[in-house]
Chains A and B, each alone.
Chain A
Amino acid sequence: MTQAPRELTVGVGAGGLATADMVLNIGPQHPATHGVLRLRITLDGERVLKAEPIVGYMHRGAEKLFEVRDYRQILVLANRHDWLSAFSNEIGLVLAVERMLGMDVPERATWTRTLMAELNRVLNHLMFLGSYPLELGAITPIFYAFREREDLQAVMEEISGGRMHYMFNRVGGLRDDLPSGWLGRVEATIAQVRRRLPDLESLIVGNEILHARTRGVGVLDVGVVTSYGVSGPIARASGLDIDLRRDQPYLAYDEVFGADGPGRVVTRTGGDCQARLEVLLEQVHVSLDIAEYCVQRLGSLERGPVNVKLPKVLKVPEGADYVATENPLGMNGYYLVSRGEKTPWRLKLRSASFNNVAVLGELLEGTLLADMVAILGSMFFVVGDIDK
């Protein structure tokens, strides 16, 4: 289908009469901003002339609070800035602390972390696959997405006790060993999700209306991606082939993304909403592959410790370190500065959504109001990850 000419004149502006621009506040509480992002847009009819994201409605001051929590407690807050990828958030932080302490983490813990990080990525992407069609008016996919989410959450809950905020990482490893028989249940759940995923896909992929709403809409070119520091699936949908799991391996990713591993980086070149949707959809499959591989590796490892005994008072030696991880939403970084106290002196967060949303001003100009919602949804941000 050729690109429909997106020309629409509405209301009294029709016959070349003078029109007045309308300033419309989308948010801070609006069904499309899932959370509290606010957009101030100037409209001419339905066409967006100017769009300005206004952030800060979810600013909870986590970075300041890090400075009065000890290294065990900061996990609680680090967990919550991006509430869809809690486990991945924990990992970045514990890796930073462990590296500054010069700690060696048992292999069993590393593989379990990798497994759970990938399951978390699937959970995260499933949320997108449900909520994005919802923003485009399709109400059913989210029910299918949450069916899978509930099953995966049950597995995650069994090991960690949490449905969303797992708090399962500790500095030096994991909180507990794996429950007996858990790996088998993970494998069964992965197989089940894989079996039922086509139900969800058939509602999204190949739907003509969804294609019409996403193809060629909100094209983000690589130049803008690099200049704004956009990362993650959004950047990869524009053709920027970058993934920290492969390019700067942490956890067990150098084996996963190695020659024999199942890991591969999903990219598209379109840069439009459809490309972003496709990247996220395919990443679910890749992550399920990786998770399955991790389960097999964990099964072949012999039993052993999953954590390192910590001193009563955990103090990180003076210095600074920066650890970046590939979170489901994009690059997530922790810059940790310690003065040898039991609390960090400064812990700076680099969160993916902040940069990914900054590009909206560039992307929304000249689009239609309906496309604005499609683009906003496709940028897949979490407001807590923007405002911290």
Chain B
Amino acid sequence: MTVDLPTPRVGPLQDAAPKPMRLVLNWGRRYSLWVFNFGLACCAIEFIAASMARHDFIRLGVIPFAPGPRQADLMVVSGTVTDKMAPAVRRLYDQMPEPKYVISFGACSNSGGPYWDSYAVTKGVDQLIPVDVYVPGCPPRPEALLHGILRLQDKIAAEQLSTRSYADRRRLAGAVTRPAVQEPGAGATRVPVAPVAPREARS
């Protein structure tokens, strides 16, 4: 079953804002990154460590109070994405409201990591959703996540948004409801997921 999702739109202010306003708007997005931890494996523990007192990414305005995707601005995929989990990752990404950002945290979600030759592991979450910042490591240190967040904030500060740039994501939405793995005997074993252009190419 495919669901026809409406074209993602940014909120009213972002759409109508004149140029000087953009500075303020980008500042708001930069320092208010409500983060949704897509905690999958080992890296999730280091993500939690990064939110704790010693590393404390709340200093940077990364607020870990969003338990669900609807309130989140930033999704941190931390851990091994398996093929069985892949549809859920995509679905949760689609449930997040625009403008949204993704940090891929750790070797597994970057590329499959030590499970690069496994039959069950997705080789990188960027096959499913567009990723803004990759943080390498297995698992990366919390400081590495802090650095990744700073890079993302720099990127947001330089951003220019408009509704048009989100329009071409629509064709990807159907991929959510397709199973990533077909049932045995139905021909090909993997349904190719639509390629995702890097975010820069669209803005």
Task: Provide the residues of chain A in CB contact with B115, threshold 8 Å.
Answer: 60-62, 65, 77
The answer for the CA separation of A28 and B41 in the assembled complex, in Å, is 13
Task: Provide the residues of chain B in CB contact with A100, threshold 8 Å.
Answer: none
Is B41 within 8 A of A84, CB to CB? no
Is A34 positioned at the interface, with any CB of B under 8 Å from its CB?
A: yes
Is A164 positioned at the interface, with any CB of B under 8 Å from its CB?
A: yes
Interface residues of A (CB under 8 A from B): 28-29, 31, 34-36, 56-62, 64-65, 68, 76-77, 80, 83-84, 127, 142-143, 146-147, 149-150, 163-165, 383-384
Partner of B49, one of A64, A68, A149: A149
Is A57 within 8 A of B121, CB to CB? no
Interface 1/0s, chain B 112-128, versus A by CB < 8 A? 00110111110000000
Top 8 nearest A-B pairs by Cβ distance?
Answer: A83-B42, A146-B52, A61-B118, A61-B120, A31-B67, A150-B54, A57-B85, A60-B115
Is A58 within 8 A of B49, CB to CB? no
Interface residues of B (CB under 8 A from A): 38-42, 44-46, 48-49, 52-54, 67, 80, 82, 84-85, 88, 92, 114-115, 117-121, 138-139, 141
Q: Which residue of B lies closest to A56 (CB)?
A: B84
B82 to chain A, nearest CB (A): 6
Q: List 30 A-B contacts (CB under 8 A).
A: A28-B85, A31-B67, A34-B39, A36-B40, A36-B88, A57-B84, A59-B82, A59-B84, A60-B82, A60-B115, A60-B118, A61-B120, A65-B117, A77-B114, A80-B42, A83-B41, A83-B42, A83-B45, A84-B45, A142-B48, A142-B52, A143-B53, A146-B53, A147-B53, A147-B54, A149-B49, A150-B52, A163-B139, A163-B141, A383-B41
B144 to chain A, nearest CB (A): 11
Contact A60-B39, Cβ < 8 Å, known A80-B114, A146-B48: no
B68 to chain A, nearest CB (A): 8
Partner of B46, one of A64, A65, A164: A164
Task: Provide the residues of chain A in CB contact with B54, threshold 8 Å.
Answer: 146-147, 150
Is A150 within 8 A of B49, CB to CB? yes
Task: Provide the residues of chain B in CB contact with A35, threshold 8 Å.
Answer: 39-41, 44
A182 to chain B, nearest CB (A): 20
Is B45 within 8 A of A60, CB to CB? no
Is B40 within 8 A of A143, CB to CB? no
Contact A384-B120, Cβ < 8 Å, known A58-B82, A147-B54: no
Partner of B38, one of A29, A65, A165: A29
Contact A58-B41, Cβ < 8 Å, known A150-B49, A150-B54: yes
Partner of B80, one of A58, A127, A164: A58
Is B88 within 8 A of A29, CB to CB? yes
Task: Provide the residues of chain A in CB contact with B40, threshold 8 Å.
Answer: 35-36, 58
Task: Provide the residues of chain B in CB contact with A76, threshold 8 Å.
Answer: 114
Is B92 within 8 A of A29, CB to CB? yes
Task: Provide the residues of chain B in CB contact with A36, threshold 8 Å.
Answer: 40, 85, 88
Task: Provide the residues of chain A in CB contact with B49, threshold 8 Å.
Answer: 146, 149-150, 163
Task: Provide the residues of chain B in CB contact with A147, threshold 8 Å.
Answer: 52-54
Contact A127-B84, Cβ < 8 Å, known A29-B92, A150-B52: no
Partner of A59, one of B44, B45, B120: B120
Is A28 within 8 A of B45, CB to CB? no
Is B118 within 8 A of A64, CB to CB? yes
A76 to chain B, nearest CB (A): 5
The answer for the CA separation of A91 and B53 in the assembled complex, in Å, is 31
A362 to chain B, nearest CB (A): 25
Is A60 within 8 A of B85, CB to CB? no
The answer for the CA separation of A60 and B118 in the assembled complex, in Å, is 7
The answer for the CA separation of A83 and B38 in the assembled complex, in Å, is 16
The answer for the CA separation of A7 and B44 in the assembled complex, in Å, is 37
Partner of B119, one of A56, A64, A142: A64
Task: Provide the residues of chain B in CB contact with A29, threshold 8 Å.
Answer: 38, 88, 92
A387 to chain B, nearest CB (A): 8
The answer for the CA separation of A67 and B201 in the assembled complex, in Å, is 42
Instruction: Given A83-B41, A146-B49, output 17 extra A-B contacts at Cβ < 8 Å.
Output: A29-B38, A29-B92, A34-B39, A34-B44, A35-B44, A58-B41, A58-B85, A60-B80, A60-B121, A61-B121, A80-B114, A127-B45, A142-B48, A146-B54, A147-B54, A150-B49, A164-B139
B76 to chain A, nearest CB (A): 13
B86 to chain A, nearest CB (A): 10
Is A165 within 8 A of B42, CB to CB? yes
Task: Provide the residues of chain B in CB contact with A59, threshold 8 Å.
Answer: 82, 84, 120
Q: Which residue of A lies closest to B118 (CB)?
A: A61
Task: Provide the residues of chain B in CB contact with A146, threshold 8 Å.
Answer: 48-49, 52-54
A24 to chain B, nearest CB (A): 15
Task: Provide the residues of chain A in CB contact with B48, threshold 8 Å.
Answer: 142, 146
Q: Which residue of A lies closest to B113 (CB)?
A: A80
Task: Provide the residues of chain A in CB contact with B45, threshold 8 Å.
Answer: 83-84, 127, 164
Task: Provide the residues of chain A in CB contact with B52, threshold 8 Å.
Answer: 142-143, 146-147, 150
Task: Provide the residues of chain A in CB contact with B119, threshold 8 Å.
Answer: 61, 64
Partner of A60, one of B38, B44, B120, B141: B120
Q: Which residue of B lies closest to A86 (CB)?
A: B42
Task: Provide the residues of chain B in CB contact with A84, threshold 8 Å.
Answer: 45
Task: Provide the residues of chain B in CB contact with A28, threshold 8 Å.
Answer: 85, 88
